[in-house]
Amino acid sequence: MAQETTTIRATFPSLEWFQALKDIVNGQEAYRRIGTCDTTMGIKIPDLQKYYVVTFEAFEVADVREATEDEVEDCDFWLEAPYARWKEMLQNIRANGKADLHHTLNTLDLEDPEGFARSHDGLRRDAFYRFNQSLQFFFDASAAIDTVFVQ
């Protein structure tokens, strides 16, 4: 999926960055065509103590918000990796227009013994697989953001 030209500059991680991503995704018909996606996904960057919750509902990203660690762990699943890993993934997406095979959500998950996608519930974690194409689209859309990294 080729991404559109850069229209916004935002700092990662920040609510502003996730809000920009939400707006980009919601403006793309290709995202709707993948089909409905209903899940809550947590974002956890432990070394920066940064936590976000992204809510996917029907054909759109319904909400993004900053959250506590407990709220993130209450999601269907959360994506957890050190800041450097997040940065590497997003830089790869920016450079290629989308994640290459070594930086997709699935690959990052498979390479981490604990999993990139985690959950306290074996059923709810499966949302990571069920909606994987939509979730990958979401992060791939960050290619259109001129991301400034905090470190």
Candidates 7-15, 48-56, 75-83, 98-106; binding stretch for other proteins (CB under 8 A): 98-106
Choosing from 30, 48, 58, 150, the residue that interacts with other proteins (CB under 8 A) is 58
Smallest gap from residue 64 Cβ to other proteins (A) = 17
How far, in Å, CA of 53 to CA of 72, rounded?
A: 6
* Residue 133 binds other proteins, judged by CB under 8 A: yes
Q: Which is nearer to other proteins, 5 or 33 (CB)?
A: 33
* Residue 55 binds other proteins, judged by CB under 8 A: no
**Residue type (1 letter), 115:** G
**Positions 104 through 123 that interact with other proteins (CB under 8 A):** 104, 106-107, 110-113, 115, 121-123
Give the C-alpha distances (Å, rounded to integers) separating 64 from 5, 67, 102, 129.
Answer: 23, 9, 26, 21
DSSP-H helix ranges across the chain: 15-26, 29-34, 69-73, 83-96, 105-111, 122-125, 127-130, 132-140
- Bridge-based pairing of strands 145-149 and 117-118 is unpaired
Choosing from 23, 38, 63, 73, the residue that interacts with other proteins (CB under 8 A) is 38
